[in-house]
A = this chain, B = another copy of it.
Amino acid sequence: MSILVVGSVAFDALQTPFGKVDRCIGGSATYFSVASSFFTEVDLVAVVGDDFTDEHLAVFKGRNVNLDGLERVPGEKTFFWSGEYGFDLNVAKTRDTQLNVFAGFRPKLHQRHRSPDVLFLANIQPELQMEVLEQCRRPRLVALDTMNLWIATAKEALTRIISKVDLVVINEAEVRQFTEEANLVKGARRILALGPKTLVVKRGEYGVMMITKDAVFAAPAYPLENVFDPTGAGDTFAGGLLGYLASRSEITDRELRRGIVFGGVLASFTVEKFSLDRLLEITLADVQERYQDFRALTHFDDFDV
């Protein structure tokens, strides 16, 4: 089974209380691809400038990431984001965004990308997410991520694409912003009423809640003594979740829960170092070991009173 992701490949400048880097590799589709490639083959569709060299492409090397859909536009510069975090690592402050080549991104899928098993529409304009979906033969599972900007500026288009997907990955604050409902469970049910079968709500250091018509699943985040840089945690989480699901023959409540835990485990590695540095060091065995730690973290017995 394979997964297709459409999103950004970027350069980031990052500052956290623990250090800074002036230029490192970032982008939603980058984190997503590397994370999901632990479980499945990934087709990456994105655009970069010619400042994104073969050396930078090395992050994908030796992984199950197919780069046929990664367009490199001569004479253009790659999408650049500069962000800063204070001690509250849940909140990023954007210092600079330079869309560069990404400003004209209108993804045209190759013929061979039009029948993905799982499609992930990373956080890009909702209109582009719709264009991508319309180019595909109906995948087994379609998921999207979004952000506060599109809720504020493109809510109608966002509502349309949400109504077409199976699974939405979204921040807690975005659920409240989108639905204007303070209660998270009620807000989540309103989004489900638009069409998706599954809502996965990211709560930063507090973990994840999944809400479907029939069930609610809540998982804490893996508690870390050293959180270095939260950039990419959400995209890594989505990559782990969707990559895991793409590797399964059926997408059930049971598999969704496992996928959420794998996503959380992968995200917990990402935040331990800048950029993709930690994610690139680990093996599937490391991921499986932390999955077991996660079981110990959350386990409690039935009562006997």
Contacts and interface: CB of A to CB of B under 8 A. Distances in A.
Given A87-B182, A216-B297, A39 B206 contact: no
B218 A223 contact: yes
A186 interface: yes
Interface of A: 17, 39, 87-88, 182-186, 189, 203, 205-207, 209, 215-221, 223-227, 244, 247, 254, 257-258, 260-262, 288, 291-292, 295-303, 305
A292 to B, nearest CB: 8
Stoichiometry, as copies per complex, reads 2
Contact of A217 (B87, B291, B300): B300
Contact of A183 (B225, B298, B300): B225
Contacts of A216: 223, 297
Contact of A301 (B206, B219, B244, B258): B258
A295 B288 contact: no
Contact of A185 (B39, B183, B217, B223): B223
A185 B303 contact: no
Given A186-B225, A216-B223, A218-B298, 20 more contacts: A39-B305, A88-B182, A183-B227, A184-B205, A206-B220, A209-B220, A209-B223, A215-B296, A216-B297, A217-B297, A218-B221, A219-B298, A219-B300, A258-B301, A261-B300, A262-B303, A288-B303, A291-B303, A295-B302, A298-B298
A182 B230 CA distance: 14
A249 to B, nearest CB: 12
B258 A224 contact: no
A34 B53 CA distance: 66
A301 B257 contact: yes
A215 B299 CA distance: 11
A218 B300 CA distance: 10
Contacts of A295: 300, 302
A91 to B, nearest CB: 13
Given A206-B206, A262-B303, A303-B288, A183 B297 contact: no
B220 A219 contact: yes
A-B interface, 9 closest residue pairs, ranked by CB to CB distance from nearest: A218-B220, A257-B300, A87-B182, A206-B206, A185-B225, A185-B223, A186-B225, A216-B223, A261-B300
Contacts of A303: 258, 262, 288, 291
A45 B227 CA distance: 43
5 contacts: A185-B224, A218-B220, A218-B223, A219-B298, A257-B301
Nearest to A302: B295
A215 to B, nearest CB: 7
Contacts of A185: 223-225
A207 B220 contact: yes
A215 B294 CA distance: 11
Contacts of A223: 184-185, 209, 216, 218
A207 B226 CA distance: 21
